[in-house]
Structures are given as structure tokens and as C-alpha cells.
Chains A and B, each alone.
Chain A
Amino acid sequence: QQQVKQSPQSLIVQKGGISIINCAYENTAFDYFPWYQQFPGKGPALLIAIRPDVSEKKEGRFTISFNKSAKQFSLHIMDSQPGDSATYFCAATTLGNEKLTFGTGTRLTIIP
């Protein structure tokens, strides 16, 4: 059972553009929503995370928007750069559970 659905599967954005990746979850017990970034040949690494008590969190060019009623959250990458080319995973968990449920991943390619 896929509890976190992620789209699109792949995304090509021009340099300087905005990259948007969307996720939807089913389990209302989830209370922490991290995004991980994975470069080829490397393990995933935490990029940014949000709790459901806020609707938006921004760190530099990366912003998470969260819609609790719709059970959806999204990652926006502003001024996308070639170095942002990677696979992005949304995830969800219940704090205290330690089990991260990952989305299916989005391969982002930033072209010059």
C-alpha cells in the first residue's frame, strides 16, 4: 500500500525556473514531512522538513507548502540551478515511530 504518492516521476526545468514536486498522503497520523535529495551514487540526504502546524517553510531557495485539509504538500525550488539536478523524495512519519514512508521519487533535471 503506497501511503505517500509523489508526482511527477520526472521533471525537466530550465535554469532559473521554478521546480515543483507534489506529494499526497493518506495516513492522518503522520505529523512530520521531510524532503530528501539524492544525487547519483549517493544516499538520500535531508533537504528540508515541515510539521503540520505550519502551512509553509522556506530555507533559501527551497520552500515546502503544506495543506493539511487536502493532505498534500509540495516542494518548490526557486531559481533552479543545474546543481539541483537530483532525485527528490518526499516522506512522512509519525514522530516516535521512526519509520519513514517515502514517496516514489522525482528525477529533476535542470537544463541550461
Chain B
Amino acid sequence: DTAVSQTPKYLVTQMGNDKSIKCEQNLGHDTMYWYKQDSKKFLKIMFSYNNKELIINETVPNRFSPKSPDKAHLNLHINSLELGDSAVYFCASSHRGFYTGELFFGEGSRLTVL
């Protein structure tokens, strides 16, 4: 059973389109994250939710909107896609009450904007 699962694994789309990435974790964690990994492999946090509440919101364009329907799910919707949005997006989770610095990552969703 996959601990943190993301769908889809690959997205190829045109500039200006809207797309969503879904994430689910079955670890019982209460905190979930979205990280962006660019072409140079640099990992940067975008958002963090704890029990459906937004707790970290880095300087991400308003075109990115996370949604957490419950603590096991965190989705990412991106409006009006731009070329610079091409990256691998990773979902991750952790347990806030027992946070040890360990994040559990999904396998990533590679977004290519043409």
C-alpha cells in the first residue's frame, strides 16, 4: 500500500490551461505539504496544511490554490498555466504532534507546460 500517492504522475498541457493534482496519504498524518522541484532539482515548499487548515503559504502566485477536504487529502489546482510552472510537484505528509523533521513524500507529478 502506497503511503503518499499522487495522481496523475505525468501532465502535459498547453499554456493557459487549468490543471489539478491530487494527493492522498494513508499514514494517519495530520499535516500535508506541496513542494515544487524545478529542473535544477531545487526543492521548495509551496504550502502546508494541518487538519485542513493552511499553516504555510510561501510566496506562490495566486494561480496556485491548494484544497484540503480532509486531513488525508491535499489537492493542488493551478489556473492559467505558464511555461515556468513546468516542474515536478511533490506531495508530502508528517505528524505535527511528533514532528521529527521527517517528511514522507509521494513519487511526484511531472507537469510539462507547452
Contact = CB atoms under 8 A, between A and B. Distances in A.
Interface of A: 32-34, 38, 41-46, 49, 87, 89, 91, 93, 95-96, 98-100, 102, 104-105, 107
Interface residues of B, number: 25
Contacts of B56: 98-99
Interface of B: 4, 31, 40-45, 48, 50, 55-56, 90, 92, 94, 96, 99-103, 105-108
Contact of A100 (B41, B55, B101): B101
B43 A44 contact: yes
B102 A34 contact: yes
A49 B99 CA distance: 13
19 contacts: A34-B102, A42-B108, A43-B90, A43-B92, A43-B107, A44-B90, A45-B105, A46-B102, A49-B100, A49-B102, A95-B99, A98-B94, A99-B48, A99-B56, A100-B45, A102-B42, A102-B44, A104-B41, A105-B40
A73 to B, nearest CB: 13
Given A32-B100, A98-B94, A100-B101, A41 B107 contact: yes
Contacts of B92: 43
